Structure 1
Amino acid sequence: MAFHDTLVYINSTVESISAQFIRIPGSAIVLRYVRSSYQNDPMRSFLELCLFLFAVRYFLASKYSFAKKDFIKLSTKEVDDLVHEWTPEPLVAPLDETDQTEVEKIPVIIGISGPKVKLSTGKSVMNLASFNMLNLLGNEQIRERAIKTVREYGVGACGPSGFYGTQEVHIQTEKDISNFLRVPASIIYAQAFNTITSTIPAFAKRGDIIVADSAIALAIQKGILISRSTIRWFQHNDMDDLERVLQQVHKDFKGQPLTRRFIVTEGLFENCGDIADLPKILELKYKYKYRLILDESCSIGVLGKTGRGLTEYYNIPATEIDMIVGSLATTMCAGGGFCAGSEYVVSHQRISGNGYVFSAALPGYLAATASESMSIMQSSPEIFTQLLSNTRAFRAIIDKMTYMYSPSDPDSPLIHLQLNPEVLESRKIDDEDKFLQDVVDECIANGVLISRNKVVQSQEVFPVESTLKIMITTGLTKRETEKAAAVVKAAVSKVMSKVPKVKH
């Protein structure tokens, strides 16, 4: 009898609550939603109920209090003493002796970083450590264009491109890039590094597949990792290995839902100076139905009869490449970067390219500088003939060295030099980077500024070889370039003479 009375009480209570609930405005909509939701997806209704109960419990729970009675009460003097004794941990670990020495040895240039510069030490040197390969930095024509643009547009855009940051000069520069590369459209970014790290994630998402060269630069690596795509690596510039990877991907994902697939590589590799085999890559791209993202940050303004990059170097239409990404901060002596391709590729990035949407637009004078640089490239094709001539003159001397060799392409003005494997076996070189730094210091002492290829190995997906990094410029004559090569060769021999041989 008691059980029956309990049920009657529960039913009456529920009916009373229902009657009160129905009187609330909008209650009928809530009831209809709950019934429909439960009928279509009971699990969803259960989860929503759990979330509702959690919210109720959260808002009704008592607030957390730090006022605990078991705390030790300190006097003002004791608090002050503890504060004086406390030493915060450093945000950055202190430099060790090697790093401190390296920082102190960084050369400081006074004035424009031209082909011949004066260091803060007062010494004048030939500059082979700058991307000013076409000697456009300090060009009077470009300087006048930049000054005129500053007076007309100011020194900055003060807003993202999609939010009052786009100026007329930006639109013109995008047209100039499209015309220069002979593609339908292009888009410019405010930072060169952020261009590729924004372009790749704008198109490649989780579940998509990216096949990339193992020697690509750090910015490209970061763009690939940010995309969260499935990544497959092929051995550097090995087209047989690339095809092997593409075949393996086809087998591994056969029968699965179709996803977007990309091949990612560089035109002129920043960390070794060799050139991608574009004809073979395009052949495999079409054979296995991939899209191609080509980073030409180091090859634009360097390769080809008029500096249009790898496509011109191989006489291949740029429209064959799905996305051409490049820097305006290297040979064009401006700033920012660009992505060129179809209208769809460009339009999509205007709403999906993080670096474009969330960063302030490129300062107008830098956009104008890039446009003027391209104009000079097109009107003065002889500068590329001179650049190639200087490159081959330098290589003719350097290639005769005994202790070092260059993995770079003979036509590349970006030249890397690394120690021969036999030398590493026969000489007691404990620290390769220190040896190379000694060569750099010896070259500077003899009037030639070069650099080491400095990378943060912990950030690289694959280890990067320790090399000397040399960039040829048209700002020097052929004879001066040969003299610089002779200085580098002599510096290597002098430093090596101080290294003891390994005793067997």
Structure 2
Amino acid sequence: MLSEPPVLESAAGPHTIINGKEVVNFASANYLGFVGHDKLLESCTSALEKYGVGSCGPRGFYGTIDVHLDCEARIANFLGTHDSILYSYGLSTLFSAIPCFCKKGDIIVVDEGVHWGIQNGLYLSRSTIVYFKHNDMDSLEKTLEKITALNKRAKKLRRYIVVESVYQNSGQIAPLDKIIKLKEKYRFRVLLDETNSFGVLGRTGRGLTEYCGVPIEKIDIVTAAMGHALATEGGFCTGSARVIDHQRLSSSGYVFSASLPPYLASAAITAIDILQQNPDLTSKLKENIAILWKGLSDIRGLSIASNPESPIVFLVLEKSTGSMKSDLQLLEDIADRALKQESIFVMASKRSTLDKCPLPVGIRLFVSSAHSEFDLLKACESLKRVAAAMLR
């Protein structure tokens, strides 16, 4: 309660201003550098002039505006799915989509490292939740095999596997090709959260399915928040027409919440257009990830837990203090010193008391294609100096 988080005094771009001082920002998931992009600002301005700030009503009553339908069609067209549905808040996508399809008595097999938004969606579903070891396909297969063997009625129940494409709590990338093989073998459905991979992974930024060479039709439900790569707000769910139509009638976050402000939907359309016209954005992001990964690979007292191609570079303590609370305090002290002494803005992976994720806490760096090589090298050198001073 006594914690005072840093307060930004400018846009959360690759550089931002905190306490009157310009710092290099690695705390915002601005993967494609779209924060403050001229075309997005123009799109928002014209939408504001045409529609105002919002409709002040749910989609099913008087909250649907043509730009919402355009955005849903644009997302579906980009990903190659039948249809999409927009939510007005990123986390509410998961709070709503999971309980919409999963009910009491259903079985959900989920990675133990999923973020709190998924955890809350699981809780609200009242389904039977079974966790498997983080990104461990042997553990997943044993879990699926055990569930199928123990529950003779399993074929009559709805059964789901829930995973993230890029895990927010570790920076690891899910091996989707292996997950699909297990899904088909044991006859489960898959819900995939693409929040940290949409616009990032794959040759053209179409996410984990493109990255792993898996047809998107093999994924039953795909969700994502738009507050990361697209630099707007809201979330979407995409898939078959049947999946989307069901949510329009039964998903609480869609039926009862005020619709997404139209200027944010307009910004999302523009962001996808820019991404398609500039495929080099994802290439530049990959180059920046490689530079930061290489520069931090030998940092004293810390190790990289994330995948080398993940836009989240996740640093964990090599030697834990023995307490997650103490580990987190040490990591927060490192982040605080990096900000005050080195003008590098990074954040420890602080979690809510409601968050049941068992994975180690760490320092999370969000890489952007808008970071310059100088920014990346400065971050590496600065964090090494701070770690050397504090982790002796």
TM-score normalised per structure 1: 0.75
Greater mean deviation of Cα atoms: 358-367 or 473-482: 473-482
Distance 2:361 2:128 in 1: 29
Alignment correspondent of 2:92: 194
Alignment correspondent of 1:70: none
The CA deviation at 1:464 is 3.9
Say which of 106, 117, 131 aligns to 2:16.
117
Q: Which amino acid aligns with 1:329?
A: G
Distance 2:131 2:361 in 1: 21
**1:280-299 matches, cutoff 5 A:** 280-299=178-197
The 3-state SS of whatever aligns with 1:416 is strand
Distance 1:204 1:400, change over 3 A: same
Distance 1:431 1:255, change over 3 A: closer
Structure 1 stretches of 4+ with a deviation exceeding 6 A read: none
Distance 2:59 2:383 in 1: 45
The 3-state SS of whatever aligns with 1:125 is strand
**1:18-33 matches, cutoff 5 A:** none
Say which of 431, 446, 453 aligns to 2:326.
431
The CA deviation at 1:475 is 1.6
Alignment correspondent of 2:313: 415
Say which of 55, 58, 77 aligns to 1:157.
55
Say which of 343, 346, 349 aligns to 1:447.
343
The 3-state SS of whatever aligns with 2:192 is strand
Distance 1:249 1:162, change over 3 A: same
Structure 2's unaligned 5+ residue stretches are none
Q: Deviations over 1:250-289 (max 9, x none)?
A: 1111146711111111000011100001000000000111
TM-score normalised per structure 2: 0.97
Alignment correspondent of 2:379: 484
Q: 2:227 matched to 1:332?
A: no
Say which of 331, 349, 353 aligns to 2:247.
349
Distance 2:103 2:330 in 1: 43
Say which of 286, 290, 300 aligns to 1:388.
286
Do the aligned residues in 2 keep the contact of 1:296 with 1:309 (CA within 8 Å)? yes
The CA deviation at 1:398 is 0.5
Distance 1:253 1:418, change over 3 A: same
Alignment correspondent of 2:68: 170
Alignment correspondent of 2:200: 302
Distance 1:154 1:275, change over 3 A: same
The CA deviation at 1:461 is 2.9
Alignment correspondent of 1:144: 42
Distance 1:109 1:460, change over 3 A: closer
The 3-state SS of whatever aligns with 2:309 is coil
Q: Which amino acid aligns with 2:37?
A: N
Q: Which amino acid aligns with 1:303?
A: L
Alignment correspondent of 1:398: 296
Distance 1:429 1:160, change over 3 A: closer
Alignment correspondent of 1:24: none
Distance 2:329 2:157 in 1: 47
The CA deviation at 1:334 is 0.8
Q: Deviations over 1:372-408 (max 9, x none)?
A: 1111111101011111111110111111123111110
The CA deviation at 1:243 is 0.7
The CA deviation at 1:415 is 1.2
Q: Percent identity?
A: 37
The CA deviation at 1:207 is 1.1
Distance 1:430 1:201, change over 3 A: closer
Cα RMSD of the aligned pairs, angstroms, is: 1.6
**1:212-231 matches, cutoff 5 A:** 212-231=110-129
The 3-state SS of whatever aligns with 2:391 is helix
The CA deviation at 1:460 is 2.3
Q: Which amino acid aligns with 1:488?
A: L
Greater mean deviation of Cα atoms: 359-368 or 402-411: 402-411
State how many pairs are aligned: 391
Distance 1:142 1:462, change over 3 A: closer
Say which of 89, 92, 107 aligns to 2:6.
107
Distance 2:115 2:91 in 1: 10
Distance 1:230 1:476 in 2: 43
Do the aligned residues in 1 keep the contact of 2:324 with 2:360 (CA within 8 Å)? no
Distance 1:429 1:190 in 2: 34
Alignment correspondent of 1:364: 262
The CA deviation at 1:199 is 0.6
Distance 1:284 1:440 in 2: 40
The 3-state SS of whatever aligns with 1:459 is coil
Q: Which amino acid aligns with 1:449?
A: F
The 3-state SS of whatever aligns with 1:110 is coil
Higher helix share: 1
Distance 1:469 1:462 in 2: 15
Q: Deviations over 1:338-390 (max 9, x none)?
A: 00000000000000111000000000000011111111111101011111111
Do the aligned residues in 2 keep the contact of 1:429 with 1:435 (CA within 8 Å)? no
Q: Deviations over 1:278-311 (max 9, x none)?
A: 0000000001111100011111122112211101
Alignment correspondent of 1:273: 171
